């Protein structure tokens, strides 16, 4: 009996040590054997729980959307989600088709930076019926119940910072009387954000327009309710360049323009091209104070060259991070963290607003280069 037992014990020891050997072999070249179990289980767990996320971006034409798309994809994939990222070439019909494809694919969450704030209503409602959770990215989805959350930078604050930058650059709050000539540009009329950018800036500038310190010689776009009439369709640089050419010819043949309020960088670049052709950039004709948004590489180069004054910096890494948090919380069935609501004319959409800041010649290196957003080479 004792002999039988000791044989049995010997066999068990042998079998156990064989298993231990296998486990170690499989685990190599991974770390210590006791961590093997955790290491093997971890990926399996993530794959099982992670979902599929469709990400729709408007266009590759503008640098920012390329960065947005890449950051969102990279950060979601790092968490184990499957990501389908699509660009729509600023074509609404393509974006509608992309939503349809995402429904067929059965994504769990759809992240949408729309081209036209209302054009997706029908197809998004189909998505919602299929149980897909919809996050509006950067641009709010208007006129629909099918918008569950909204992640963006604070759009009105973007305009407020631009307006305040003009006030500070001209010393208006310190009593500078000018008068300073100014023209106002606005974004694409189909983009709900454009209204907020305009409102934020015009609210800051109105007292100076009313007192005559700032003079809009064309008379166009001086109040909040006029922005669509001067809006540049599709945020096109060429559209802004044409309008600026016309304004310079019609109103600034004998006088310099001192300020141009531009809501973003694609417009600012068109405006700069018009100013360049009109001979700005000399002592007698210095470039006006010119605002922008996105810190697009070409605009940062213009800031360095003294052709554009500032650009709002909306770190796409921050927004991507927020979206990943939202997706995590949605799919874990947790409460989604928000800090605001935006009214889309049908419902109050729970929203998370990130905080924008501005970059100019004094701080662009610290903000954009030292933070690793751009390399110094990219800005040469």
Query: Which residues, numbered 136-155, are part of the site for ligand BGC (CB under 6 A)?
Result: 138-139
Would you say 64 or 199 has its CB closer to ligand BGC? 64
Print burial letters for 2-34: b (CB count within 10 Å at least 16), e (below 16). eeeeeeeeeeeeeeeeeeeeeeeeebeeeeeee
- Out of 160, 169, 291, 293, which residue is the one contacting ligand BGC (CB under 6 A)? 293
CB 184 within 8 A of CB 261: yes
Query: Which residues, numbered 156-195, are part of the site for ligand BGC (CB under 6 A)?
Result: 191, 193
Which tokens sit at 132?
A: 């897909």
Asked if residue 307 binds ligand BGC (CB under 6 A), the reply is no
Query: Which residues, numbered 233-252, are part of the site for ligand BGC (CB under 6 A)?
Result: 235
Residue 35 burial by Cβ neighbours in a 10 Å radius (0-12, 13-18, 19+): exposed
Q: Whose CA is closest to 311, among 277, 245, 362? A: 362
Helix/strand/coil for 359: strand
Which tokens sit at 299?
A: 């605009």
Asked if residue 116 binds ligand BGC (CB under 6 A), the reply is no
**DSSP character for 255?**
S
Q: How far is the CB of 201 from ligand BGC (least distance, A)?
A: 14
Would you say 151 or 247 has its CB closer to ligand BGC? 151
Would you say 181 or 316 has its CB closer to ligand BGC? 316
Query: Which residues, numbered 333-372, are part of the site for ligand BGC (CB under 6 A)?
Result: none
Asked if residue 299 binds ligand BGC (CB under 6 A), the reply is no
Cβ atoms within 10 Å, residue 52: 17
Q: How far is the CB of 271 from ligand BGC (least distance, A)?
A: 14
Would you say 138 or 148 has its CB closer to ligand BGC? 138
Q: How far is the CB of 277 from ligand BGC (least distance, A)?
A: 23
- Out of 64, 73, 195, 307, which residue is the one contacting ligand BGC (CB under 6 A)? 64
* Residues 6 or more apart in contact with residue 299 via CB below 8 angstroms: 265, 268, 269, 292, 308, 311
Would you say 241 or 293 has its CB closer to ligand BGC? 293
- Out of 102, 294, 316, 368, which residue is the one contacting ligand BGC (CB under 6 A)? 294
Q: For residue 300, give Cα distances in angstroms to 53, 167, 294, 360.
A: 33, 21, 9, 8
Q: Rule CB under 6 A: which residues touch ligand BGC? A: 62, 64, 138-139, 191, 193, 235, 264, 266, 293-294
């Amino acid at each position: 009996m004792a002999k039988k037992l000791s044989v049995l014990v010997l066999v068990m020891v042998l079998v156990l040590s064989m298993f231990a050997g296998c486990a170690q072999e499989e685990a190599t070249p991974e770390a210590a054997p006791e961590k093997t179990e955790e290491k093997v289980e971890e990926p399996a767990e993530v794959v099982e729980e992670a979902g599929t996320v469709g990400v729709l971006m408007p266009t590759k034409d503008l640098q920012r959307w390329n960065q947005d798309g890449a950051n969102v994809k990279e950060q979601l994939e790092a968490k184990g989600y499957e990501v389908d990222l699509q660009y729509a070439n600023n074509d609404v019909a393509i974006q509608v088709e992309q939503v349809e494809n995402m429904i067929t694919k059965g994504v769990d969450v759809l992240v949408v930076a729309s081209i036209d704030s209302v054009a997706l209503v029908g197809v998004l409602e189909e998505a919602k019926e299929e149980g897909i959770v919809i996050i509006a990215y950067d641009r709010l989805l208007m006129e629909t119940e099918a918008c569950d959350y909204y992640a963006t930078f604070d759009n009105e604050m973007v305009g407020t910072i631009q307006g305040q930058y003009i006030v500070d650059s001209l010393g208006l709050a310190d009593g500078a009387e000018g008068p300073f000539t100014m023209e106002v540009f606005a974004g694409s009329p189909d983009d709900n954000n454009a209204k907020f950018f305009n409102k934020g800036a015009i609210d800051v500038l109105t007292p100076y327009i009313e007192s005559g310190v700032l003079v809009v010689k064309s008379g166009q776009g001086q109040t909040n309710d006029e922005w669509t009439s001067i809006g540049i369709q599709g945020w096109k640089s060429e559209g802004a360049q044409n309008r600026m050419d016309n304004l310079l010819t019609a109103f600034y043949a004998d006088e310099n323009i001192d300020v141009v309020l531009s809501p973003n960088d694609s417009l600012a670049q068109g405006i700069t091209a018009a100013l360049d052709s009109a001979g700005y950039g000399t002592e007698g004709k210095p470039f006006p104070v010119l605002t922008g948004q996105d810190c697009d590489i070409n605009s940062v180069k213009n800031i360095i060259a003294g052709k554009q004054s500032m650009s709002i910096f909306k770190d796409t890494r921050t927004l991507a991070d927020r979206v990943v948090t939202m997706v995590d919380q949605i799919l874990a069935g947790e409460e989604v963290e928000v800090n605001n609501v935006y009214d889309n004319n049908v419902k109050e959409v729970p929203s998370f607003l990130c905080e924008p800041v501005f970059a100019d010649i004094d701080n662009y290196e610290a903000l954009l280069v030292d933070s690793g957003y751009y390399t110094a080479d990219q800005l040469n």
